[in-house]
Amino acid sequence: MHQVSRESSNRGFVLVKREDDGRRTCQTLLGCTGRHVWWRWADQPEGPLEACPVPELFR
Ligand SMILES: [Zn+2]
């Protein structure tokens, strides 16, 4: 992945159902220098970034 700047790339939040525990949970959206869209669970701020499966919705 490209470099993600924490300050400049936050695109907000989106509520999605988490398959692991079946709960509706916020994902934090992040953009990178290559204009990809990434997200991570808002309740796991140090967790891994995953590629957003529907980036066209958030550009
Ligand atoms: Zn990238």
Structurally, how many domains does the chain consist of?
A: 1
Span from the CA of 43 to the centroid of ligand 1 (angstroms):
23
Residue 38 CA to ligand 1 centre (angstroms): 8
Tokens 């509706």 correspond to 24
Rg from Cα positions in the chain: 11
- 28 in a domain, yes or no? yes
Place of tokens 């066209």: 56
Domain range enclosing 34: 10-57
Looking at the domain assignment, is residue 1 inside a domain? no
Cα(36) to centroid(ligand 1), Å: 5
The rounded Å distance from CA 33 to ligand 1 centre is: 6
Do the domain assignments include residue 4? Answer: no
pTM, two decimal places: 0.78
If you measure from the C-alpha of residue 15 to the centroid of ligand 1, how many angstroms do you get, rounded to a whole number? 22
16: in domain = yes
Q: pLDDT tens digit string along 2-55?
A: 777 655 567 889 999 999 999 999 999 988 888 889 999 999 989 999 999 888
5 lies in some domain: no
In this structure, what token pair is assigned to residue 57?
Answer: 């919705």
